[in-house]
Chains A and B, each alone.
Chain A
Amino acid sequence: MQRRTYTIHRVIQMIPTLVILAILIFLMIRAIPGDPAVTLLGVQATPENVAVMRHHLSLDQPLPVQFGIFVNQIVHGDLGRSTLVQIPVSTLVAQRLPLTLSLVVYAMVLALLITVPCAVIAAFNKGRLVDQLIRGYTILGISTPGFWVGILLLIVLGVKVHVFPVGGIGTSPLQDLRYLFLPALTLALGVSAILIRNLRDAILSTLGAEHVTVARAKGLHSQTVLLRHVLRNALISTVTLLGLYLGWLVGGSVIIEDVFALPGMGSLMISSILGRDYAVVQGFTLVYAVLVLTIYLLTDLAYSFVDPRIAL
């Protein structure tokens, strides 16, 4: 019951944020210098087309009325229409969101696969060469731009060694795993650098905890102590960080999709900015923000299950 109350409370907390978010995104196109109708249609638009667009966008109405209409359209799934490809933005979202989500989830799985063994090895070899090497990797991972790492991976593993495709997507989910490997790895390398540091420190502080000493004193096998007593507790803070970085990965995917020419939301958003297709930029910004808010909500709810004290 308390968890249910917490969930409802947490969802209600999102409402003011969503309202301010809608206002900001509503103002986005209007903040661009010049007439929004001309901005959307381009400078070569005829006065008649501009007048039609002004009426279509309700720009002849007072600002609060315009905002009401904007919210009503969003609620009904109408995110506007792309001026370049002449299809609804919601259709573009439906076409491209699955790939972006797949990339983010794939990257997170790879990041975990890199993080856990590296952090365990580093923590159990504190101060030794292997620990220093892993520390070096984390510093390099934090300090190196993802798009450059992606290009290097493309040159080495795609062009020179021909192990992975250099761009695009496959025709089946299994092929997609291969096609998305390099972009997902690029994203994962950056995030794992941060997660390894966090998990290594958490393992080191858990190793000194009393319950671990007791587990060792009981004569438990070192593997059992590691898996059931150390890692399980140390992972809690990393899982929280993981939720936060899932949101970061969504943003990072915008650039990586562009590097690997993936037909996701990010690559279209970039080409839309350069092509001044502002309806797409506005719609996609909204979708990204709602996506991240949903991820944070789900992380908080999942965390309340892992640690019931949160919901109290």
Chain B
Amino acid sequence: MSSLATTTTAARPVLDRSRWERTKRLARRNPALVVGLGLVSLVILVGIFGPVLAPESPTTQNYAAAVQAPSVAHPLGTDKFGRDQLSRVLYGARIDLAVGIVTTVVPLAVGVIIGCVTGFYGGWVDTLLMRVIEIQVAFPFYVLLIAIITILGPGLLNLYVALMLVGWVGFARLIRGEVLVAKNLEYTVAARTLGCSNRRIILRHLLPNVIGPALIFSMSVVVFHILAGASLGFLGLGVQPPNPEWGAMIADSREYMTTAWWLPTFPGLAIAVVGVAFSVFGDGLSDVLRTGAR
């Protein structure tokens, strides 16, 4: 017993070292993954600690300092109400990131469950899913979002609902396709032959093998939903004033865009940075998972 414990303790540093070596090798081979992960971590940290980093309240108005160019006092300038643009951009990170991440994670979970069940069992549930996909494809993405917002009414909560209602279908379609292929592969047939239950086959054998493409796809969906949230904010159908949402901030700046370049530029840059971070991370993740699959 004691000799076993000694062996385990001695083996641990070797194991840790080899894991560290593997991580270093992975990072060397996939710079996109490292850069992407670094950028995503950074923007998430800004999202979490934005209110701490912000020099002022995002809603405090100061008409004496309205539409001021970037300066030491206001590094990103001020808007038409004299609100500090840096504070609004930092607070906005939390809103836009939350929209992108939450409206991806929930549809990912729902889509994976529905995709697995419909792909594995087929039958009327599968037919129903295919019909839902056909209908959703018939609506242009933004027209569908706008139609849902028309029914629910503009606002942050309804934006979440609309994006989640639209988002799960893509994941379900992707997972269904993967399951249709994987359920006929040798490892699934072997699991079935060994007497595994359907539930065990789905959870232990199919899911780990089909989740990769959905995770890669989820990075694109985060970007797409952040852009969609900002676009609806820009149109006045998403987050409502005075909340500091990046798209709504750009919309607010329209009347000043010829004279105050900083007003549309910085919130737009913030969206672009977050979008690039998740896109690069998605590219890196795709490289790693594909290499892993090979």
Contacts and interface: CB of A to CB of B under 8 A. Distances in A.
Interface in A118-154: 139-140, 142-148, 151-152, 154
A292 interface: yes
Contact of B223 (A142, A146, A147, A248): A142
A194 B179 CA distance: 26
B143 A285 contact: yes
Contacts of B236: 270, 274
A149 to B, nearest CB: 8
Contacts of A252: 140, 142
B272 A147 contact: no
B137 A296 contact: yes
Contacts of A28: 147, 150-151
B134 interface: yes
Contacts of B280: 139
B254 A151 contact: yes
Interface stretch (B5-13, B82-90, B199-207, B256-264): B256-264
B268 interface: yes
A254 interface: yes
Contact of B151 (A32, A140, A152, A284): A32
Contacts of A296: 137-138
Contact of A289 (B143, B234, B237, B274): B143
Determine chain B's interface SS by DSSP, over half rule: helix
B268 A251 contact: no
Nearest to A143: B275
A147 B275 contact: no
A73 B268 CA distance: 44
B235 interface: yes
Given A148-B264, A151-B250, A281 B150 contact: yes
Interface string A209-248: 0000000000000000000000000000000000000011
Nearest to A293: B138
Nearest to A291: B140
Contacts of A144: 227, 268, 271-272, 275
Interface residues of A, number: 43
A296 B139 CA distance: 11
Contacts of B237: 270, 273-274
B146 A273 contact: yes
B293 to A, nearest CB: 17
Given A143-B275, A143-B278, A152 B138 contact: no
Interface string A72-103: 00000000000000000000000000000000
Interface string A242-266: 0000011011101100100000000
B135 interface: yes
A147 B231 contact: yes
Nearest to A197: B283
B98 interface: no
Nearest to A151: B264
A20 interface: yes
A139 B135 contact: no
A255 B279 contact: no
Contacts of B271: 143-145, 148
Interface in A273-312: 273-274, 278, 281, 284-285, 288-289, 292-293, 296
B231 A255 contact: yes
A17 interface: yes
A78 to B, nearest CB: 20
Contact of B231 (A31, A143, A145, A269): A145
Interface string B209-222: 00000000000100
A16 interface: yes
B135 A21 contact: yes
A296 B136 CA distance: 13
Given A251-B140, A255-B234, A151 B257 contact: yes
B121 interface: no
B150 A278 contact: yes
Which of A31, A146, A152, A289 has the most chain B CB atoms inside 10 A of its CB? A289
Contacts of B131: 16-17, 20
Given A142-B223, A143-B275, A148 B137 contact: no
**Max chain B C-beta neighbours (<10 A), residue from A140, A159, A255, A296:** A255
Given A139-B283, A148-B268, A289 B275 contact: no
A59 B134 CA distance: 30
25 contacts: A24-B135, A28-B150, A28-B151, A139-B279, A140-B276, A143-B272, A145-B230, A148-B250, A148-B268, A148-B272, A152-B264, A152-B265, A155-B264, A159-B257, A247-B140, A248-B141, A252-B140, A255-B235, A270-B146, A270-B236, A274-B237, A278-B150, A281-B146, A285-B146, A289-B140
Interface of B: 131, 134-135, 137-144, 146-147, 149-151, 220, 223, 227, 230-231, 234-237, 247, 250, 254, 257-258, 261, 264-265, 268, 271-272, 274-276, 278-280, 283
- CB-based closest 4 A-B pairs: A143-B275, A251-B140, A148-B268, A251-B142
